Amino acid sequence: MKNNPFSSTEVLLPLVVPAIIEVVLVSLIIATLIGGKHARTDVISSDAAIVKFDAIYHNAASSALRVLTEDDEKLAASLRPIRESLNHDISELKNSSEITSLKSNNATQFIAALSDLSETIETVEGVKRNDQPLDLSLVMGKASELLKEMKGPAEKLRVQLSAKQKRLLEAESTAESGLFYLLVAAMVTPALAAVYAFFFAGNLNKKVAALHDSVVKISMGRRITDAPPGNDTFSVIHSDIQQLSVAMDRSRKRERAMIDSAGEIICSLDESLKLSEVNPAVHTVLGYVETELVGTNIQSLVHPDDKDMTYSQLEAIKNKSFSETFEARLRHFDGEYLFTQWSANWSAEDRSILCVIHDISDRKAAEKLKQDVIAMVSHDLRAPLTSIGVVLDMCMEGAAGTLNDRGKRLVSRAQMSVASLISMIKDLLDIERFEAGGLTLHYERSNANEIVQRAVDMVKPEAERKHIMLDISCDDIPFICDGERVNRILINLINNAIKFSKNGKTVYITGKLLKHRSEPAEVEFQIVDEGPGIPPSKVATIFDKFTQVGTGSEGERSGSGLGLAICKALVSAHHGKIGVISTMGEGTNFWFRLPESGNLEPQHASAESRNSL
């Protein structure tokens, strides 16, 4: 879930909405201030227009009265100034935006009356200038008539200007009131936002504290049983953490159950090698109760002869990033010491050593039994069998008298049985010697074809007995190897092919040189038979000791299960490769490859090649 706790509506409302409202209020205040300023200007202009109109109307009325009342001499001198004043007033009325904005017929009629009055005065002025006779009664009548025409539109126009001024004053008053309320709202909104933010911060603090407590519980390995209700982001996160704690608790219980039910001792050692935790298997294996050992230094349980080695191994593990395996004897509750195998790994995060300890006492006992058996086979069986073989050879040569045909057959069979037993003992001793590192290779300059021919000569009697043809195709390849050991590999593989082939079949033996672009050249030998083949499930283990294919054939019944294991051991000792390709019902191809060049000095089998068995 990709939720951002600061994108929650609950977080955005107290932060963003007041800011938006405040911006809108400030904008309205600025707009109101600008509108108020314009309204004030309009009121002033309206006042000026009314004053100007009153002055024009008064001037026009005065001009008309002067025409009606002044005598001829004064009237002749004042006609021009009166006319120019009227024309100026007419021009101002026409150019007045306050008057023209009314779009009133009263204004038009008033201006027309002023224009007529101006024209009348201009006519009188022309008559006076030309000394023509003037009918004053006519002039006075005209002026009186124009004055009456002027009065009605003027009063109506004055009412319109006053009404406009009243509207402007009311708009100005409304703007001032709106500005006041906007200013109050602008001051109240931050205060309300601050109060809301205060309560929200308290609620947020509680949720964050709850999240912190949940995280602390998880870090302590405790299970969170419930989560606060709600659909906000924090509640969702808390719910996820609660589900995570449940999953982790189940996982810990499964791990604990696996550790507690394990048959091996699983424990944790601190930096001073004291047991900080151990599973119940310690009681089964060593006889101690878990609580008795917690806090005990592991060295107190180690055999005195193994303490230095164990301490060195455990200290060395602290500087390694991989696990180490070693063996040490541990004291049982009854005082006896058990052989154990340790697999230890350093945890830098926990500053502790994690150990898995296996009881290998049975394996050690089996190894000792095997060594005793090998010793018995080597000393108590091999020597008597050799003596029996010598006696049988002497019997065949007539040392005990002349044998009839039946006696010769019986002695011959006994010789074959003794030879088979001695060969089996020799194979077994060679395997053990190889695993113990006591097998020494004597490298010499050899020829692949010659080694193959020697091996074929050794197995030819058995092949002729079963009427099996040996098809040899081997190049003359000089290479360095232990010729006797390679000859033995070939004898084992060819003999194996003959044993598992039916009468009249063919065994193919080849040898050739393989050259590689980036690796040293190798000599490859192949032994291909036409036998029953090897089941696919057995191919991977065919080279293990005492392994049989399980077909129940005559060759399998007569084998010991050591021949292929010896072949693999000898090939590995030469740093070579061995393998098998088999198809059920068609036959088997055993092949092995040896390096073309080698060291002529005697070589002991390496640990890597010994571990390959």
Contact 327, 338 (CB under 8 A): no
Note the pLDDT tens digit of each residue in 332-359: 989 899 999 999 999 888 889 999 999 9
Give the pLDDT mean for 412-428: 77
Phi and psi at residue 295, in whole multiples of 5°? 95, -5
Tell me: do 426 and 568 sit in the same domain. no
| Residue that finishes a domain, picked among 359, 378, 408 | 359
Note the pLDDT tens digit of each residue in 107-119: 777 778 778 777 7
What percentage of residues in the chain have a pLDDT greater than 90? 19
> Rounded to an integer, what distance in angstroms lies between the CA atom of residue 334 and that of residue 332?
5
Structural element, H or E, at residue 354: strand 352-359
Tell me: do 472 and 512 sit in the same domain. yes
Tell me: do 124 and 29 sit in the same domain. yes
Tell me: do 488 and 607 sit in the same domain. yes
Three-class DSSP category at 255: helix
Question: Please, what is the angle between helix 382-396 and helix 405-435, to 10°?
Answer: 150
As for how many domains the chain has, the answer is: 4
Bridge partners (DSSP) of residue 140 are none
Tell me: do 400 and 483 sit in the same domain. no
Phi and psi at residue 480, in whole multiples of 5°? -105, 125
pLDDT at res. 362:
86
Q: How many CA atoms lie within 13 A of 156 on its CB side?
A: 14
Position 610 confidence tier, pLDDT thresholds 50, 70, 90: very low
Tell me: do 418 and 557 sit in the same domain. no
Nearest to 600 by CA among 487, 479, 430, 433: 479
Structural element, H or E, at residue 41: helix 9-69
The yes-or-no verdict on residue 509 having pLDDT over 90 is yes
Q: Does residue 505 form part of some domain?
A: yes
| Residue that finishes a domain, picked among 184, 201, 218 | 201
Tell me: do 369 and 352 sit in the same domain. no
Note the pLDDT tens digit of each residue in 535-549: 888 888 888 877 766
Tell me: do 584 and 452 sit in the same domain. yes
Q: What CATH number is associated with residue 562? A: 3.30.565.10
Structural element, H or E, at residue 275: strand 275-278
Q: Does residue 213 form part of some domain?
A: no
Bridge partners (DSSP) of residue 328 are 340
Tell me: do 173 and 67 sit in the same domain. yes
Q: In what order do the strands lie in the sheet with 265-269?
A: 275-278, 265-269, 352-359, 337-347, 324-331
Contact 419, 385 (CB under 8 A): no
Tell me: do 391 and 517 sit in the same domain. no
Q: Does residue 408 form part of some domain?
A: yes
Residue range(s) defining the domain that contains residue 458: 438-611
Nearest to 329 by CA among 353, 301, 288: 301
Q: Does residue 551 form part of some domain?
A: yes
Note the pLDDT tens digit of each residue in 166-200: 877 777 778 777 777 777 777 777 777 777 777 76
What is the length of the chain?
Answer: 613
Position 5 confidence tier, pLDDT thresholds 50, 70, 90: very low
Q: Does residue 455 form part of some domain?
A: yes
Tell me: do 509 and 388 sit in the same domain. no
Give Cβ neighbours of residue 442 (< 8 Å, ≥ 6 apart). Answer: 482, 484, 602
Tell me: do 422 and 446 sit in the same domain. no
Q: Does residue 219 form part of some domain?
A: no
> Rounded to an integer, what distance in angstroms lies between the CA atom of residue 501 and that of residue 509?
14
State the amino acid at position 325 in one-letter form: T
Contact 147, 170 (CB under 8 A): no
> Rounded to an integer, what distance in angstroms lies between the CA atom of residue 139 and that of residue 67?
8
Position 557 confidence tier, pLDDT thresholds 50, 70, 90: very low
